[in-house]
A and B are shown apart, each in its own frame.
Chain A
Amino acid sequence: MLNINNLKASIDDKQILKGINLEVKPGEVHAIMGPNGSGKSTLSSVIAGREGYEVSGEVLFNGKDLLELAPEVRAWEGIFLAFQYPVEIPGVSNTNFMRTCINEQRKYRGLPDMDASTFLKTMREKAELVELDPNLMKRSVNQGFSGGEKKRNEIFQLAMLDPKLAILDETDSGLDIDALRIVSNGVNKLRNKDNAFVVITHYQRLLDYIIPDFVHVLMNGQIVKSGTKELAYELEEKGYDWIKAELKEAAL
């Protein structure tokens, strides 16, 4: 589904991604862990098409060259990014925002606008999935939402748009213990054999709920180690120093 080959990205002559290789197949969950500033959010931004990066390498999504596509086209093709820091949009209600998103996606797929009653029904269902307070639908997108509400709202939007590939950038940070469970369960219910998830996190705990098929360690702009979910436990226990030491040794 997603094939990343030797992806490099820099901003203002500062190289952040230094040759990423990653393959994600339908039905899989990949976790990406790594120290602060290692390039995790940058990787997700580059996949989703944020402007302002100097990018080289290849990103294929179901055979299509993603780097050629505008960010909204990537979204319509089925890529969703749950933001580490969701933005606020004053004066635009969550409902209105979602309606616009859904109908733009449908237009791209040659479908008519979703009728109002189906839309409202879907909204209700998906809000329940992550136990999002229905009152938040009338409020402006993320405006005045608590940190946790913003994160839930991201997963609610994910559920509404039903992407093929969802990237969750630190969705767990800011969620309380119960919310973490609720949101994770929501994500698990959305999993199926045709979609895939890339979960960026600092904590092994999330991976107890959303069980990954693979765990990758991103350091200094490169995936330096990949493994199964056991790798996450090892990181939780030992931190990143041992990997750095390993790398140094290998370099000698």
Chain B
Amino acid sequence: MSTSEQDILEQITGDDYKYGFVSNIEQDIIPKGLTEDTVRFISAKKNEPHWLLDWRLKAYKHWLGMTPPDWQNVKFPPIDYQDISYYASPKEGSKLNSLDELDPEIKATYDKLGIPLEEQLILAGVAVDAVLDSVSVITTFKEKLAEKGVIFCSISEAVQEHPELIKKYLGSVVPYTDNYFAALNSAVFSDGSFVYIPKGVRCPMELSTYFRINAKGTGQFERTLLIAEDASYVSYLEGCTAPKRDENQLHAAVVELVAMESAEIKYSTVQNWYPGDKDGKGGIYNFVTKRGVCMGNGSKISWTQVETGSAITWKYPSVVLKGDNSIGEFYSVAVTNNLQQADTGTKMIHIGKNTKSRIVSKGISAGKSQNSYRGLVKVRKSAANARNYSQCDSLLMGDKCGAHTFPYFEINNNGATVEHEATTSKIGEDIMFYCNQRGISQEDAVALIVNGYAKEVLDKLPMEFAVEAKKLLAISLEGSVG
């Protein structure tokens, strides 16, 4: 690399995370530490039924006996789980019924994030659930959705209003025994979104949840559950941001999806948690378990993710293809810059006949970051005629970052077709000079090239969000030329 490229590369580093502000909201935060009492406290705070408290306690006990995983290709000092506060909520406390009751400061927070909560102003036809730290503060368009029988509310509310659904499905896709962070989440989860689409209903609008961490010294443990009954359709999007802080904050979420016969769930994520500064100080640890089950025949689950934030991203949105002819998809763009680390990918578990899965992963590494794709394609004996196609591309910017690909295959049916392609490329000096010569500056060229590179994935996002995601990609890579 020439010296001037080196300079530019170093400039990256100065970039600003524009969501890094802290809101001045009066909050209830419980003291740091995790004991059985913490679990009881959270459950009581939410006025939960006994069976749910029992479930949490079982999860907690199970967690106590587990050790944190160490197989992932990311490095961080051991987390002190007693040094985290497990519950923070805006003072007002319970859920609001109308926007007028919303603390203006909270509203301002979401306005600043570009997420207007006024129903009439919201992007045409997008319903929003806003989760601040441990609680959902508002859900919009509830009535309109209710007309169609669609339930879209916070999970705490669903526990009260629809306990039978929660009891039936909570932990049915990701049991608390699944992994270390799933166990922890099951014990202390505070809020998240709940979606239920009845039989034959096409959800009339995009549903979205915005997660915001505001409080200091806390962790966020949200839980999302989405159920699509026979022949229904829903497109759901989540977005995430957090203030700039020197400390690392833990975000350990669990997302469970269930698609019944011929149902389709499209789940999109634009993850922009605070990534830490250029020296790797601060930033969110984003340790998430996301899994969907294609329960019914002919059902489809599609994950799309644009991951630009977090100090460490560690997640594998997966699909269990139980129903015959079901389809699982995973489209991912993961950007790492500075000292960010990402170990992300998917698992596609083929059980039913004629099941199909498609994996498209686009990693982009800049600065001194490390970006790993890890994916498992598993074809059980029962999965006659299963097909998988995987494509994993890595784009490197500069020569101090790393890209890694760890594909795993367990094929137990001879009739399965599995294809895997992987490429690694650089934003070469040739392509950069070509753009410059045509009058496109380095920064703009990076944005153009990266968006082109990620196009296949960005095209899968709902239109309204694709534009945002493109900007986000450009911002996260500002100045990074190699």
The chain A residues found within 8 Å of chain B, CB to CB, are 45, 48-52, 70-72, 74-76, 80-81, 83, 86-92, 96-97, 100-101, 104-105, 108, 140, 157, 161
Q: Give CA–CA (A48, B430) in the complex, Å.
A: 13
Q: Give CA–CA (A101, B5) in the complex, Å.
A: 22
| A100-B444, A101-B440, A104-B440 known; A92-B451 Cβ under 8 A | yes
Check if A48 sits within 8 Å of B452, measured CB to CB.
no
List B434-479 residues whose CB lies under 8 Å from chain A: 434-441, 444, 448-449, 451-456
Which residues of B sit under 8 angstroms from A92, Cβ to Cβ? 448-449, 451-452, 455
| A91-B455, A92-B451 known; A51-B4 Cβ under 8 A | yes
Check if B433 sits within 8 Å of A51, measured CB to CB.
yes
Which 4 A-B pairs give the minimum distances between C-beta atoms? A91-B452, A92-B452, A91-B455, A71-B436
| Closest A residue to B431 using CB positions | A87
Which residues of A sit under 8 angstroms from B451, Cβ to Cβ? 91-92
State which of B2, B431, B441, B455 has its C-beta within 8 Å of the C-beta of A70: B441
List B29-79 residues whose CB lies under 8 Å from chain A: none
| Closest B residue to A157 using CB positions | B438
Which residues of B sit under 8 angstroms from A104, Cβ to Cβ? 439-441, 444
19 extra A-B contacts, CB within 8 A, seeds A50-B433, A86-B434, A104-B440: A45-B433, A52-B2, A70-B436, A71-B437, A72-B437, A72-B439, A72-B440, A74-B437, A75-B438, A87-B430, A89-B434, A89-B452, A90-B452, A91-B456, A92-B452, A100-B448, A101-B439, A104-B441, A105-B439
Could you say which of A88, A100, A161 has the most chain B C-beta atoms within 10 Å of its C-beta? A100
Check if B440 sits within 8 Å of A87, measured CB to CB.
no
Which residues of B sit under 8 angstroms from A75, Cβ to Cβ? 436-439
Q: Would you give the shortest CB distance from B296 to chain A, in whole angstroms? A: 35
Q: Give CA–CA (A52, B6) in the complex, Å.
A: 12
A-B contact pairs, 13 of them (CB 8 A): A48-B433, A49-B437, A51-B4, A70-B436, A86-B434, A88-B431, A89-B434, A89-B435, A100-B448, A104-B439, A104-B441, A161-B438, A161-B439
| Closest B residue to A143 using CB positions | B452
Which residues of A sit under 8 angstroms from B28, Cβ to Cβ? none
| A50-B433, A87-B430, A92-B448 known; A72-B453 Cβ under 8 A | no
Which residues of B sit under 8 angstroms from A71, Cβ to Cβ? 433, 436-437
| Closest B residue to A53 using CB positions | B2
Which residues of B sit under 8 angstroms from A81, Cβ to Cβ? 437
Residue B429 interfacial (CB < 8 Å) = yes
Which residues of B sit under 8 angstroms from A49, Cβ to Cβ? 436-437
Q: Would you give the shortest CB distance from A159 to chain B, in whole angstroms? A: 13
Check if B448 sits within 8 Å of A89, measured CB to CB.
yes
State which of B2, B438, B441, B452 has its C-beta within 8 Å of the C-beta of A51: B2
Which residues of B sit under 8 angstroms from A90, Cβ to Cβ? 452-453
Q: Would you give the shortest CB distance from B462 to chain A, in whole angstroms? A: 19
Which residues of A sit under 8 angstroms from B5, Cβ to Cβ? 51
Which residues of A sit under 8 angstroms from B455, Cβ to Cβ? 91-92
Could you say which of A72, A83, A96, A140 has the most chain B C-beta atoms within 10 Å of its C-beta? A72
Dominant secondary structure of chain B at its interface with chain A: helix
The chain B residues found within 8 Å of chain A, CB to CB, are 2, 4-5, 428-431, 433-441, 444, 448-449, 451-456
Q: Would you give the shortest CB distance from A128 to chain B, in whole angstroms? A: 21
Check if B454 sits within 8 Å of A91, measured CB to CB.
yes
| Closest A residue to B445 using CB positions | A72
Q: Give CA–CA (A91, B447) in the complex, Å.
A: 12
Q: Give CA–CA (A97, B434) in the complex, Å.
A: 11
| A72-B439, A87-B434, A104-B439 known; A97-B448 Cβ under 8 A | yes
State which of A48, A89, A96, A97 has its C-beta within 8 Å of the C-beta of B437: A48
| A51-B2, A87-B431, A104-B444 known; A76-B439 Cβ under 8 A | yes
Q: Give CA–CA (A50, B441) in the complex, Å.
A: 13
| A51-B5, A71-B433 known; A108-B439 Cβ under 8 A | yes
Which residues of A sit under 8 angstroms from B444, Cβ to Cβ? 100, 104
Which residues of A sit under 8 angstroms from B452, Cβ to Cβ? 89-92, 140
Q: Give CA–CA (A176, B59) in the complex, Å.
A: 72
| Closest A residue to B453 using CB positions | A91
Q: Give CA–CA (A44, B428) in the complex, Å.
A: 19
Which residues of A sit under 8 angstroms from B433, Cβ to Cβ? 45, 48, 50-51, 71
Q: Give CA–CA (A86, B433) in the complex, Å.
A: 11
Which residues of B sit under 8 angstroms from A100, Cβ to Cβ? 440, 444, 448
Q: Would you give the shortest CB distance from A89 to chain B, in whole angstroms? A: 6
Q: Would you give the shortest CB distance from B342 to chain A, in whole angstroms? A: 21
Q: Give CA–CA (A81, B431) in the complex, Å.
A: 14
Q: Would you give the shortest CB distance from B318 to chain A, in whole angstroms? A: 27
State which of B4, B428, B434 has its C-beta within 8 Å of the C-beta of A83: B434
| A91-B451, A91-B456 known; A72-B434 Cβ under 8 A | no
Q: Would you give the shortest CB distance from A155 to chain B, in whole angstroms? A: 13
Q: Give CA–CA (A96, B434) in the complex, Å.
A: 15
Could you say which of B2, B429, B433 has the most chain A C-beta atoms within 10 Å of its C-beta? B433
State which of B439, B449, B454, B456 has its C-beta within 8 Å of the C-beta of A89: B449
Could you say which of B2, B452, B453, B455 has the most chain A C-beta atoms within 10 Å of its C-beta? B452
Q: Give CA–CA (A81, B435) in the complex, Å.
A: 11
Q: Give CA–CA (A96, B449) in the complex, Å.
A: 11
Could you say which of A48, A50, A81, A86 has the most chain B C-beta atoms within 10 Å of its C-beta? A50
